[in-house]
Structure 1
């Protein structure tokens, strides 16, 4: 079971009206999440991961800096980046939220970080919606927590894309 804040974002994303398996960013209204807004972020998908567009004050305090333009992978310890990059690919490929569990040296307890794909104004699935949810209440920090270490990554719900099927031309398998 996820933290209630994590589940709230998952449920809100799943309820967004969509023409396809990934809802448009324009349909997401962050203020409907109330007290979770300081823990929300949006990012642009990029060839090397994702780059922050906006981040709530709690996230900026946690990392000890403004987040706009920061590469999301740069916040993770080197040994965790492969798992985090795979989670980014998974959320877009499977058109569903992915939850990661993370730790940091100067953080009490663990964080649940949920990410979910969104479509931009041109219809391209190139936006990321995310939420940092602490398992324990965190005090206001004066110093950054340091690099995050990923411990677990799991897709949530049913994948939004149909499973791959075998294709053949002239009896030769091609996919």
Structure 2
């Protein structure tokens, strides 16, 4: 069972038109997150990096720095980065949210981080709405916690199917 803040983003995402096939970013109104908005972020899907588009004030306080334009992967211990990348790929491939359980170097609590895929204005599945949620009330005021360590990741809800994209190689359709 997830924290109520985590479940709220999952429910909001699942209620969007196109959920199960990756909804449009324009259909998601961040204001619906209410009091958890400072815990929200939007990151871009990149090949080698995950650039932060927006990060709420609570997330920036937690990490001790402004995050816009930074690589979200750089906030993680190097040995956690493969799981983070795999979780992002899973969210897009399965067209459903993925929840990470994470710890931080200078915090004793566990954080839930939900990642839900979205499509941009051109229809490309290229961004993620995310939400950090503390599980211990003492971590609500945590600051500059250092690198995060991913403990586990789990896909939530039914596996959807991302919109298909056709590709051709030397004139032959391959996907």
When normalised by structure 1's length, the TM-score is: 0.88
Q: Is the 8 A contact 2:20 2:161 kept in 1?
A: no
Distance across 1 between alignment mates of 2:50 and 2:95: 16
Q: Is the 8 A contact 1:44 1:127 kept in 2?
A: yes
Q: Is the 8 A contact 1:49 1:88 kept in 2?
A: no
What's the counterpart of residue 63 of structure 1?
Answer: 63
Verify: 1:22 aligned to 2:42, yes or no.
no
When normalised by structure 2's length, the TM-score is: 0.88
What's the counterpart of residue 140 of structure 1?
Answer: 141
| Structure 2: 5+ residue stretches without partners | 163-173
Larger radius of gyration: 1
| Structure 1: 5+ residue stretches without partners | 163-173
**Once the two structures are superposed, what CA deviation does each residue of 1:123-155 show, in whole Å capped at 9, x if it has no partner?**
0000111000000122534x5101000000000
Structure 1 segments of 4 or more deviating over 4 A?
none
Q: Is the 8 A contact 2:115 2:128 kept in 1?
A: yes
Distance across 2 between alignment mates of 1:19 and 1:33: 17
**Once the two structures are superposed, what CA deviation does each residue of 1:156-175 show, in whole Å capped at 9, x if it has no partner?**
0111128xxxxxxxxxxx99
What's the counterpart of residue 99 of structure 1?
Answer: 99
Distance across 2 between alignment mates of 1:59 and 1:75: 11
Distance across 2 between alignment mates of 1:59 and 1:42: 11
Q: How many residues are matched?
A: 163
